[in-house]
Chain A
Amino acid sequence: MMKSTKSRWLAAISAALATLFLTPGAVRATKRPRYGGTLRVELQAANVSLDPREWKAGSLSASGSEKVATLVYDRLVVLDDFGRFQPVLASEWSHDVSWKTWQFKIRAGTKFSDGSPLTPADVAAALQSLLPSGFQVTAAEAGVTIRAPRSTPDLLDQLASGRYFVFRVQPDGTLLGTGPFYAAETVPSASSESTQAAIKPARMKFRANEEAWAGRPFLDVVEVTLGLPPLRQLLDLQVGRADAVELAPDLVRKAKQENLRVWSSAPDTLLALRFDDAQPAAADERLREALALAMDRDTMANVLLQRQADPTAALLPQWLSGYASLFESPLNLERAKELRASLTANKAGGAEPLRLRVDAVGDLMKLLGERVAVNARQANLTVQLMPHTAASTSGMASTAANPAALHLFAWHYDSLSPRAELEAMVKQLHLQESPETVQGLNEPEQRFAEERRLLNERRVLPLVVLPECVGIAANVRNWMPARWGEWRLADVWLEQGETVPSSDNPPPRNSESVRVPGARP
């Protein structure tokens, strides 16, 4: 009896092993991505806008908005990690000999998230509203033609980045996209005013677009929570309440020490000083040079920003221009003091200090402002840090009551075209009387010369460039954003069994759920 039972057991185990190894289907040669699940993302930005027409070039808010917009919209082309443009909504393209006229054939059969077909007229209308003045976009039967006012060999670089998404404006003002997800729901914070053009939610929910032209994304839902402070985000990642969070530079080391997955982009944000004419003393070139020579960028990058930033003396980052390393920024306190001594005592002196306003939110920016003041003092220059107000971030102009000659600002690089990025900086930061003179700098040597000239004028003093750092949960697979920071969540999937249901992460109190018009029911 015993023997019989034992034999049966052995037979059963042998059969199971045979089934495991020999039956087709029991053993998978390679594992496939899993469909389903909710990816919970947390962003520091308190507001995002899904309307690319509203984004201000270089602003940090536009950076947050772009992250969310990549879920909903597509561009004509994308740039892969190997320098190749890949077709997205454009299936073919070509240009004339002067690089002024570009033809794009629109991918047939593409539909918006509500099921309506994408037409060349939609593409033309969207791009016309986004491209700079002088560009003409016309729709034809199967594609669009873009006529540039001058030779634009880098049009694909431009269209593959930044705001150049394709959308359709609906009668109620909301926008429809063809992307892998659609905006399904927003949960506005209690204090915000909900408008249709600029959504200011505390939480947004994006559902998979089942009919996306490139295939349904692996995730069912992407849930984005906005306006969370950096420490809270790190905590949420640690306890499993979030799957992807933005990490502030001063928290990256802590996250790594705790064995969390951290991804960093190429440096995508410039922190710099800008002079304006609000205080007459700031117009003195010797003063500007003295301040430039007094800035200890290495300490800012390595100590204050805990080696998460790179010191820079260039406007464009090395990864974008390829020549930023040619600009040197020698710290020369002796020379700075000499220059200071050649100025009258009251210029940037105790009685009439240079006022510095921080034009971006965050404790790190305030600390950096304090460091600028300390460096200036070492060269006998007095810089007074102005308290941060909402007005100071609303625009670049100083407030009338306390005009500041110096601004510490953050610039987020939006474009993959170094020419377009330099043009945007000159225009947005008012670095030149007539921004047209920097247009059409298609050759890197021309751009280098122009950047050199702008830096020699010292209206702007670059300090450091910062990467974007993201903390990622262990169960997130295929996290493969672009080197320049663009997230690609359509290919992300979640390993089973490690997620915390999103219901464990309750929405903010006093909130209500709002459906986004135009979304698929």
Chain B
Amino acid sequence: MLPNSERLCVRPHRFALPLLIMFFTAELAMPAENSSLEDGMRQLAERVATIPNFHGSVRLEVHQDANFAAATGTGWKETFQQELEKGHITVTDEANAPPLRISLAETPTQVVLSASTRIGDREEVRIVALNRALLPATALPVASVRLERQLVFASADRIVDASSLWNDSEGGLALLVYRNSELTALKLDASGAVKQSVSLAAANPHATRDPRGELTSRGVGAEVLLPGKSCEFSWSGASDLKCRMAKTTAKSWRNTTFLLSPCDGSGWKLEANGADWTAADLLQVVPEAASRKESGALLSEFPGPVVSMNGEQNPGSALVVTRNLRTGNDEVYKITLACGN
């Protein structure tokens, strides 16, 4: 669902042409990175199976932090056991079986898997380290009680705004992202794959820690509102970028985001805080019409602060951008009302 190229930090290697070939070769020549915890566990089991004089039955003792345990699940245990059995080591619950201690730990850059056991008076330790950044994030729970929420895109880049292309033939999304401190507009197809990328560096936006901008899709192009200026471009190329000075006040920016109920056409207003980047947000969808006040607000907890909401392109749905505090990715959710559920 999420394109890998967008989930990871990609560093183009184009610093110096003569070295490019060397470094490109280097990257190709390097051993493949571990891609999952299961792969790491498979490697660890293979290494454990080659410990001299280590065979028969063992009792597994697993040690890992509670937080980390919740994120890793239990699938890796089965993989580990299966791999051990290939090496003629069986896992048992018998108390008198020799213990094989397995530890999973997270360091700032790695996930360290270790196995230790004692054979006579000898301690045997095997360690495998995985690149933490390359491990896929576990699936996020999606709440869907009356208020439907769907994760439609995630990226390690900072997403400033998201706009729906629902009337475009390909559907999909248009995004305004802050990539390596450069403002870029992305056009995505319905599957989330990047189809077009337009650098807005020529708009010369002022560097800021709180990047602000709004993207509005306009047929073959889009309009971008930035502090102090308004720009237009076509998806066919950045050379078409035209900017003009525009006085931006609080009224210039998109403010209230509304959703229309598919059942009775009533209006609902989206509210979120977004003030503290360290806190998860609670999105409130509040009924606008007095007749529905008794319905109360619909609540949906997001995995991080809500930084942008946009319901302009489609009255039936809104796009909410949040910064996931657990994965560090910026995520775009599609919010719709599901009446009657």
Chain A residues within 8 Å of B, Cβ to Cβ: 21, 23-33, 79-87, 91-97, 103-105, 107, 140, 142-143, 154, 157, 212-218, 318-323, 325-326, 416, 418, 443-445, 448-449, 477-480, 482-484, 490-491, 495
Contact = CB atoms under 8 A, between A and B. Distances in A.
B210 interface: yes
A418 B110 CA distance: 11
A230 to B, nearest CB: 25
Given A25-B255, A84-B156, A79 B108 contact: yes
A326 B114 contact: yes
Most buried by B among A140, A319, A323, A443: A323
B159 interface: no
24 contacts: A24-B254, A29-B309, A30-B272, A30-B309, A32-B210, A32-B274, A92-B11, A94-B15, A96-B19, A97-B22, A97-B25, A140-B16, A154-B109, A216-B208, A216-B209, A218-B209, A318-B105, A319-B106, A322-B103, A322-B114, A323-B112, A325-B63, A326-B103, A490-B209
Contacts of B266: none
Contacts of B307: 30
Interface in B206-224: 206-212
A31 B309 CA distance: 12
A344 to B, nearest CB: 29
Interface stretch (B74-82, B121-129, B141-149): B121-129
Interface string B1-27: 000000011011111100100110110
Contacts of A97: 22, 25-26, 29-30
Given A323-B127, A326-B114, A418-B107, A103 B210 contact: no
A320 B255 contact: no
Given A94-B11, A214-B207, A319 B270 contact: no
Contact of A96 (B23, B111, B181, B256): B23
B127 A142 contact: no
Contacts of A477: 275-278
Contacts of A104: 15
Contacts of B271: 29
Contacts of B341: none
A95 B255 contact: no
A449 B309 CA distance: 53
B116 interface: yes
Nearest to A316: B107
Contact of A80 (B209, B211, B250, B328): B328
Nearest to A263: B278
A390 to B, nearest CB: 35
Interface in B192-210: 206-210
Contact of A319 (B23, B25, B108, B111): B108
B166 to A, nearest CB: 20
Contacts of A321: 107, 112
Contact of A92 (B13, B131, B249, B327): B13
A83 B209 contact: no
A444 B109 CA distance: 12
Given A82-B327, A94-B23, A29 B181 contact: no
B30 A82 contact: no
Contacts of A479: 278
Contacts of A482: 108
A33 B275 contact: yes
A215 B207 contact: yes
A105 to B, nearest CB: 5
Interface in B271-297: 271-278, 288
Interface string B246-274: 00011111111100000000000111111
A323 B105 contact: yes
B207 A212 contact: yes
Given A218-B209, A416-B108, A445 B126 contact: yes
A326 B99 CA distance: 13
A322 B107 contact: yes
B309 A320 contact: no
A81 B206 CA distance: 26
Given A445-B125, A477-B277, A480-B278, 19 more contacts: A21-B256, A21-B269, A25-B252, A25-B255, A28-B255, A29-B274, A31-B275, A33-B277, A82-B328, A83-B133, A84-B328, A92-B15, A93-B11, A103-B19, A319-B108, A322-B127, A325-B63, A448-B114, A480-B277
Contact of B181 (A23, A80, A92, A213): A213
Contact of B208 (A215, A318, A320): A215
B180 interface: yes
Contact of A320 (B14, B108, B181): B108
Contacts of B30: 97
A85 B11 CA distance: 10
A253 B12 CA distance: 48
Contacts of A82: 132-133, 327-329
Contacts of B107: 319-322, 418
A157 B109 contact: yes
